[in-house]
Amino acid sequence: MSLALDGLLAIALVVLALQVVTGASLFRSIVMFVVFGLVMALVWAQLRAPNLALAEAAIGAGISGALLMLGYRRLRAAGPEATRPGPRSSRLAAPLSLLVAGLVAYLGWTALGLPEALGAAGAEVVAAMPSQAVANPVTAVLLVFRGYDTLLELAVLLVALAGARAVEGPAGPADLATPTMIGQPIVGALLAALVPLSVLVAGYLLHAGGNAPGGAFQGGAVLAAAGVLLVLTGRLVPHPVPGPVERWGAVLGLLVFSALGLVMLAVGQGMLSMPGAWAIYLVESAMLVSIATTLVLLLGAAPGLRRGPMP
């Protein structure tokens, strides 16, 4: 049964990937991309990687799908010329496809030949877990054993936000027309229920990340989903000048993580070492705020956000 499910998921991924790159319209490709992300989340769950499954469902399918859909709306608003499909063939398409297929086959063949026993790094992590302040090995790896990687990931998010602002230019994108159903009472009722629930789930994932699947990245993605809802419903509107919430929110994770590392270095400990569970939760809380702020600002396609007019 498990083998049949694995085969079905593998076939579904290939079929959906083909639908994404060969779709007759941008809208269809975006929808197929979201479905691909959801199936990929099932694949990670089947591989017993719940942290990756949560991240894929929230970011790979949810936030990324919302960004692509917003880009599609902006292309439609720009006029029919912007959405006209370009040439569908290229001389490099076939060689690149063969190269990628060969690389995937080589990686798969190599993975099949890997030993089943834990590697040296995995064995050291497992052996060191009883002395750590958290019981979740994924959180321990991200913040204790490989803190530099996590710090650089926060820097990459900040650079991505700065790059988006640089590409956008000072004028920013044109405002989009608000859909007519936004002013309906049912929308306000749904927001009143979903936004507090998203904040509650984000907090739970942050707290649970110390002992179970969850953490700052998953919680930040769920919190960003609440911001996405507010942007798409016009409760938050783009603004050309970032406010203190946007400025500090985007850099909070990087600042807190770096400051803690420098303090530990000053007292004679290792750089980025965590003195206890309180430090891990402090860094993860700051990371959650930065991840959510960055994702919402990227979707809003503006330096800042302000409260929109109530319907």
pLDDT tens for 14-32 read 899 888 888 778 888 888 9
User: What pLDDT is stored for residue 180 in this prediction?
Assistant: 53
Name the band, by pLDDT with cuts 50, 70 and 90, for residue 71.
Answer: confident
User: What pLDDT is stored for residue 276 in this prediction?
Assistant: 83
| pTM for the model | 0.75
Share of the chain above pLDDT 90, in %: 13
User: What pLDDT is stored for residue 88 in this prediction?
Assistant: 54
Q: How far apart are CA 106 and CA 112, in angstroms?
A: 10
What does residue 276 show for φ and ψ, rounded to 5 degrees?
175, 180
Q: How far apart are CA 275 and CA 298, in angstroms?
A: 34
- Per-chain mean pLDDT for the chain: 81
Q: Which tokens in the block code for residue 170?
A: 């000072």
Name the band, by pLDDT with cuts 50, 70 and 90, for residue 86.
Answer: low
Helices (H), the chain: 2-22, 26-46, 50-55, 64-78, 80-83, 93-112, 120-128, 137-140, 147-168, 185-208, 216-232, 244-266, 277-300
The greatest distance separating any two alpha carbons of the chain, rounded to the nearest whole angstrom, comes to 62
Mean pLDDT of 189-208: 89
pLDDT greater at residue 72 or residue 39: 39
Q: How far apart are CA 93 and CA 115, in angstroms?
A: 35
Q: In Å, how far are 138, 260, 261 from 147, measured between CA atoms? A: 12, 11, 10
